[in-house]
Amino acid sequence: MRNATNKILRIFARAEKEKRSVLFEHEVYALLRACGIATPRFIFVPRGTRLTGDDLGPLGSAGVVVKVISSEILHKSDVGGVAFVPNAADAVNAAIRGMNSRVPARFAEWLAQHGRQDGSGGRTAEDIAAKIRGVLVVEKVAAEDIGFGSELLVGLRNSREFGPVVTMGLGGLDVEYLNERLREGRALAIGSAHLLRRSGLAPALSRLAVTGKLLGGFRGKPAPLAMTALIDIFEKFGRLGRLFSPFGRRFPYVIEEAEVNPFVIRGGRLLPLDGLCRFSRRHEPPRPAIHGRIEHLLRPASIGIIGVSERLNLGRLILKNILREGFPRERVYVVKPGLTEIEGCRCVPEIRDLPETVDLFVLTLAAEHSPAVIEALITFGKARSVIIIAGGLGEKKGTEDLEANIRGLLKWGRDAGKVTPIINGGNCMGIYSAPGKYDTTFLPSHKLASPGKGHPGLVYLSQSGAFMASRMSKLPGVEPLFAISLGNQLDLAASDYLNYFLASGEASVYALYIEGFVPGDGLALARAAKELGKLGKSVLVYKSGRSPEGRRATAGHTASVAGDYEVCRAVLESAGVFLAETIGEFEDALRVLPRLAGKTFAGRSAALVSNAGFECVIMADGLKDGDGLELARLSPRTVSGIATLFKPLGIDRLQDVRNPLDLTPVADDATFAGAIDLVLADRGVDCAVVSPVPMTAALQTLAPAPEHGEDIRSPESVGQRLVAILGRSAKPVVVNIDAGPAYDPLARLLEEAGLPVFRRSDDALRFLGKLVNLRLRTAGKR
């Protein structure tokens, strides 16, 4: 590999010496060969050179393709820069002469018509001709024509958020048209070069719409390719991306973009027919490893605050909220000249007068005062962490310098070895910390009640404080251990927190609202999420800023850059992140994921059980071949056991035992629960959706009332029986209660007992299918 890398480095160095950032096509072929990718045979012919028959003989094909080579002419076909001619010296030399005479004029016309922002639209034919380096003569490849799928595109692109990303999909002239119309997830396989593992490529590539035809043959014809051919190409592009990544330091160059469109099939191998590569020296500076210091921020022993008024202002409200959560008053210091105490907390006139280096300092002044406060904190070594509440930093025009000043101060302090704080924010709502016994959000308790003090298993990480507050208001039963409003991520980013929680987090679910990533943080977040997944933790993300309109709105909200959503989706899901497509799905996941922690995800074979025929039909309709779950085949032992349960009630005369399992409204509490017990004991069942339609008189599904004798808290009720059965099962099971408000107590009972509950069967099935497939993919089982 070292020799191959050296060859690639020499290619880049020659181009750079000629002040080029784009490789010529023959240089791209040389790069591919260095990576171990076969290419067509070719000859580069410098301008002014005549070819002989001996020169062309090694190409070995009856026909050849002649292509003009220029650093400026990228769309060769549009200006007559491509010709197909016989493999004969006279024909090839004539084609070269024709190109030299017509291409400059045609390209000058093309520039005049299309223009360029760099002002190159007025170039003369003579100027353009001087830039033509020669031509490339390539063998005409006799490729297999299988119609749809004959050509593939493979690309490598350096993204701001995730670094080098590899894509593979349908190639050729109609690639954009067809990819837009193929089902989501079927058009392109996308993967982070840094996260790629060969073992996970086959499942990802097998989902492509074209793969079945390439690997399985079509209309009686043998398969033109083996899966290993696709995996090899994808993996080699990934290796190239890792070697020349903006986050690497071994080599001076970064591949910004490399693409082959198309690869064609010949003799069971993929051959490139056209390629481009653009490179730079744009390495991202390494982010400081600051996540180890987050302990001071989330579990402080002392707090300082500035911006508190004698009357109720934002700073005073935050101070009240800190004290409300039980933080000791004697460990809170207020920077406020002219007073000795506020709310029982000691006041000091200046930052330099703080009696100690506080673990946490809360900055509630306006944005324009932030740099001066940070400078004072660093100069006098008075804070280990800071929360900047102020809005306007970075997202409002003219405030970019404020953020730059603060970043410069942090770099100065850290480089000098001074006590330099880590910073959360700006433009954030603050942090709620149950272990730290403080709340620096500026919401009054009568607007948003303080979370309970039960057994929270959730951490919120949100760029929008309002989004986080809305979820806490709507789902008060889902208690956060920490609720962290990230804001602009001026210093601390989402991945820093996830890396901290990797070592110290007792939560089981990390729920993130992300509008945009700081450079490289998408990749860092994916890596941290993958490690959390290995510990049995779940990372849930809602990513906004997907559309052009959403990206513009994001830029005006948190000064973050929202990247390509399809890349974000592919990379995060490959790392095991549950990426919610809607707010409703995000909220369902907030409720359900903690309740499925510790369950074993062994396969996609699902049992669907209800006491209503319509539910069985709807759930069966919801199964998606290859995307969701598949019906489990019940074992003879399970079928026999359920048939025995059916007989006393006569259900065996009404319904056969099969999956989906319709227990009918005749099934009582014991029969319903007994059937679930037998189904979950079946080794062929990996997961289940259980949907007791509660209106039947045979089940106890109501809270006690004078007009009936039911009691959902009775040990004999179906609810209590399900709590016991599902609690001891290691298989992931979700429960659906498809009924109105009268059955809310039943749903609450099940949720309070730790069961995942939905109120519509299609939501339940869709969620379980998505989660099961995500866990299986990341475990390499699918």
3-class secondary-structure state, position 664? coil
pLDDT at 185: 63
pLDDT at 370: 94
Domain boundary among 543, 563, 583: 563
Rg (CA), the chain: 32
pLDDT at 178: 62
Q: CA–CA separation, 268 vs 260, rounded Å?
A: 18
pLDDT at 459: 95
Q: Are residues 295 and 274 in the same domain?
A: no
pLDDT at 18: 93
Would you say residue 5 lies in a domain?
Answer: no
Structure tokens given for 103? 């291409």
Angle formed at CA 182 by CA 180 and CA 187, multiple of 5 degrees: 85
Distance of CA 768 to the CA centre of its chain: 19
Q: Judge whether 41 and 58 are in contact, CB under 8 Å.
A: yes
Q: CA–CA separation, 274 vs 86, rounded Å?
A: 20
Q: Are residues 405 and 471 in the same domain?
A: yes
pLDDT at 457: 85
Tens of pLDDT, residue by residue over 174-201, are 666 566 656 556 778 899 999 988 888 8
Q: Judge whether 572 and 529 are in contact, CB under 8 Å.
A: yes
Q: Are residues 356 and 376 in the same domain?
A: yes
Pairing of strands 82-86, 63-70: antiparallel
Candidates 434, 431, 459; CA nearest to 297 is: 431
Q: Are residues 270 and 301 in the same domain?
A: no
pLDDT at 547: 54
- Report, as ranges of residue numbers, the positions in the chain whose pLDDT lies below 70: 1, 115-122, 173-185, 218-220, 392-399, 454-455, 546-563, 624-627, 780-782
Q: Are residues 485 and 342 in the same domain?
A: yes
**3-class SS shares of the chain: helix, strand, coil, % to 5:** 40, 20, 40
pLDDT at 219: 67
pLDDT at 165: 95
Structure tokens given for 214? 């390439």
Q: Judge whether 241 and 255 are in contact, CB under 8 Å.
A: yes
Q: CA–CA separation, 413 vs 398, rounded Å?
A: 25
Q: C-alpha distances in angstroms, 654 versus 32, 144, 645? A: 66, 57, 13
Tens of pLDDT, residue by residue over 488-537, are 999 999 999 999 999 887 799 999 999 989 889 999 999 999 999 988 89
Q: Are residues 642 and 754 in the same domain?
A: yes
Q: C-alpha distances in angstroms, 630 versus 406, 621, 633, 665? A: 54, 11, 9, 25
Q: Are residues 299 and 393 in the same domain?
A: yes
Would you say residue 65 lies in a domain?
Answer: yes
Structural domain boundaries, residue 102? 41-139
Q: C-alpha distances in angstroms, 358 versus 305, 351, 378? A: 10, 11, 12
Would you say residue 11 lies in a domain?
Answer: no
Distance of CA 24 to the CA centre of its chain: 34
Q: Are residues 266 and 224 in the same domain?
A: yes
Q: Give the CATH number, domain containing residue 231.
A: 3.30.470.20
pTM score, whole prediction: 0.89
Q: C-alpha distances in angstroms, 84 versus 69, 91, 138, 328? A: 15, 10, 10, 82
Q: CA–CA separation, 231 vs 237, rounded Å?
A: 10
Domain boundary among 509, 543, 563: 563
Q: Judge whether 146 and 213 are in contact, CB under 8 Å.
A: yes
Q: Which residues of 293-376 form beta strands (DSSP E)? A: 303-306, 332-335, 341-342, 345-348, 360-363
Element (H, E) at 40: none
Would you say residue 649 lies in a domain?
Answer: yes
Would you say residue 10 lies in a domain?
Answer: no
Q: Are residues 131 and 83 in the same domain?
A: yes
Q: CA–CA separation, 425 vs 297, rounded Å?
A: 12
Q: Are residues 373 and 465 in the same domain?
A: yes
Q: CA–CA separation, 497 vs 650, rounded Å?
A: 58
Q: Are residues 49 and 96 in the same domain?
A: yes
pLDDT at 415: 93
pLDDT at 559: 39
Domain boundary among 116, 139, 162: 139
Q: Give the CATH number, domain containing residue 424.
A: 3.40.50.261
Would you say residue 12 lies in a domain?
Answer: no
Q: Are residues 371 and 238 in the same domain?
A: no
Sheet of strand 42-46, all strands in order from the earlier edge strand to the far edge: 42-46, 132-139, 63-70, 82-86
Q: CA–CA separation, 468 vs 22, rounded Å?
A: 45
**Count of domains observed in the chain:** 4
Would you say residue 8 lies in a domain?
Answer: no
Would you say residue 406 lies in a domain?
Answer: yes
